[in-house]
Structure 1
Amino acid sequence: MSTIIQFGKDLVRRFSDHEVAGLAAQLAYFFLLSIFPFMIFLIALMAYLPISIEDIVLAMSRYIPSEAMDLLTSNLETKNTGLLSVGLLATLWSASNGTNAVMRAFNRAYNVQEDRSFIKSRLIAIVLTVAMFIVILVALMLPVFGKAIGVYVFSWFGVSEDFLAIWNALRWVISSTLFLLVLMSLYILAPNHHVNIRQSFIGAVFATVTWQAASLGFSFYVNSGVSNYSATYGSLGAVIILMIWFYLSGVVIILGGEINAMLRERQWFKR
């Protein structure tokens, strides 16, 4: 127990020493810059997928507060397939800047300097960004089409009806597992330091579970009416809610990297 308490104290100290709050704010800023180009990209992409705006809203509303969702859905009213490439490029550039901020945060966590070339760093950031986009799309589609997929497998292989109930639960687990794998990739590739799979696992599990809990908790807090941001900030309330959610997400992601670095320093995993 004393080891866990000391670990927590050291994590709090690193939170301050490594300016996690400031780096998370940078990450939230770049997330905000990329979210609307990403919406444009989704609008254009929906023309090629059997998915509607309502499906996307339903899937996203599980984690995003309602006021922030109203802000996002107001940008999902028209489809323009000609904006597909423009939206993708703008999203990649803005979001990869956020990934670069994460890379700087992890380098600080491992106490290393960035000596990779600009091109290599940017390519890593873009690859990680694309991986996150894929997970977001899969996470959106599994809840919407998961039941249909289960019914198809049921009819094709003739499995029992109990399989559908199991599948309805598993499709949420699959989304979380994909998120976990992307975070592990982020913790392995982002820092300019050798990190193996075992050394990235604990932080990725922490970030996955904590992000889901924090998102659900913050969504409940906002939707419950305990704090009325719209009454305080007017039309900017939805933007502020979205920024706070991005900020919380950034803090959780960076803390996952800090935890991995601390475990490595304590040699909890063999190199």
Structure 2
Amino acid sequence: MEEKGELKEKISLVKSYVSPDRSQIDILTTKGFIQDLIYRTKNVDMSGMGAQLAYFFLLSFFPMLIFMVTLLPYLNLEQGQIFDFLSDVMPEEVYGLIETTLTDVLNNQNGGLLSIGIIGTLWSASRGVDALMKSLNRAYDVEGRAGFLNRLWSLVFTIALVAVILIALVFPVFGQQIGNIVFGYLGVEESFANVWTFVRWITPPTLIFIVISVMYWIVPNTDPRLTMFSVIPGAVFATLGWLVLTYGFSFYINNFGNYSSTYGSIGGVIILMLWLYFTGMIIILGGLLNASFQKRQLAKESKKQAKSPIF
């Protein structure tokens, strides 16, 4: 009987974390913070929204790659370096999935593909960003902005994300050539080469952090407005989480996972969908962390004011 009683207590404790009564949550405690975060993940349906983001990001993935590789002949850049870089950072199944498509695009240069790539990328990605913006507003329990303004911000953030992805691809691959051109033009000493090597690898994650921070700052339609400083914790989490996910996922798939033998030719698609799904969940979770931190800060300020003497 005592064992059953202890088991019931443990189950009750787990339920208090997983399904808390929000009115009883003390956000100032560690337990209360975790409970508030769990509540928000359920409120925004983080798993469902992650799947929705993965769907729209997948629709934009290939148009964006086609757009990027179609630019190569116009920029006189070597396509071999792009493929080498992609093979290093992507799981083998995903790389095999896109290699044939991109090779066909490069071998059949067509200016129309550039336009199709831009339109396809912006339309699909903007739908995904729009879903992400709805999640961030729901995280703070607020309504989004009016239709036109919301679509405008969605387009702005979509363009920013596409630009960051382009830079993230170009800098590691062609950063050395870019540095040589710039240093040669400016007459800078070769001793700056080591500094440039560091800069070209740190620039992509820095830009990702900036774009995510601005998104976390501007998108939530809160009153009063969020401060830039208040969204840094979630942005740091999302940036580092995405980097760990990308390289860790690639390492796992290449060394332990064998999706091709299980799923055949669609193994690459499944892996890509999983990566996009977890990417969406990480970005949403970063916004939820910021919302819980903000609520905690407001509770601290309210408690401090309540203790202040009244004259």
- TM-score clears 0.5: yes
1:56 to 71, 75, 82: 82
Structure 1 match to 2:101? 75
Give the gaps of 5 or more residues in structure 2. Answer: 1-27, 302-311
Structure 1's 48 and 164: CA in aligned 2 closer, same or farther, altered over 3 A? same
1:147 to 176, 179, 198: 176
Residues 184-237 of structure 1 deviation map (CA, whole Å, 9 limit, x = unaligned): 12212332333331122221111111100111111000000x221111111111
Say whether residues 1:235 and 2:265 are aligned partners: yes
* Offset, 1:6: 5.0
Superposed counterparts of 1:1-271, under 5 Å = 3=29, 6-77=32-103, 78=105, 79-117=109-147, 119-155=148-184, 156-159=186-189, 161=191, 163-193=192-222, 194-224=225-255, 226-267=256-297
Question: 1:180–1:208: 8 Å Cα contact kept in structure 2?
Answer: yes
* Offset, 1:9: 4.7
Partner Cα separation in structure 2 for residue 222 and residue 24 of structure 1: 21
Partner Cα separation in structure 2 for residue 14 and residue 63 of structure 1: 33
> What percentage of residue pairs aligned between the two structures are identical?
43
* Offset, 1:12: 3.5
Question: 2:171–2:200: 8 Å Cα contact kept in structure 1?
Answer: yes
Question: 1:43–1:80: 8 Å Cα contact kept in structure 2?
Answer: no
* Offset, 1:259: 1.1
* Paired amino acid for 1:212: L
Structure 1's 115 and 186: CA in aligned 2 closer, same or farther, altered over 3 A? closer
* Offset, 1:15: 2.2
SS state at 1:113 partner: coil
Structure 1's 190 and 168: CA in aligned 2 closer, same or farther, altered over 3 A? same
Structure 1's 160 and 11: CA in aligned 2 closer, same or farther, altered over 3 A? same
Alpha-carbon RMSD across the aligned residues, in angstroms, is: 2.2
Over alpha carbons, which structure has the higher Rg? Answer: 2
Residues 216-264 of structure 1 deviation map (CA, whole Å, 9 limit, x = unaligned): 111000000x221111111111000000000111011111111111111
Partner Cα separation in structure 2 for residue 130 and residue 154 of structure 1: 29
SS state at 1:76 partner: helix
Q: Paired residues, what number?
A: 266
SS state at 2:297 partner: coil
Residues 116-150 of structure 1 deviation map (CA, whole Å, 9 limit, x = unaligned): 12x22211111100001111111111112222233
SS state at 1:40 partner: helix
Partner Cα separation in structure 2 for residue 187 and residue 255 of structure 1: 11
Structure 1's 3 and 173: CA in aligned 2 closer, same or farther, altered over 3 A? farther
Structure 1's 171 and 4: CA in aligned 2 closer, same or farther, altered over 3 A? farther
Partner Cα separation in structure 1 for residue 177 and residue 66 of structure 2: 27
Structure 1's 150 and 231: CA in aligned 2 closer, same or farther, altered over 3 A? same
SS state at 1:267 partner: helix
SS state at 1:75 partner: helix
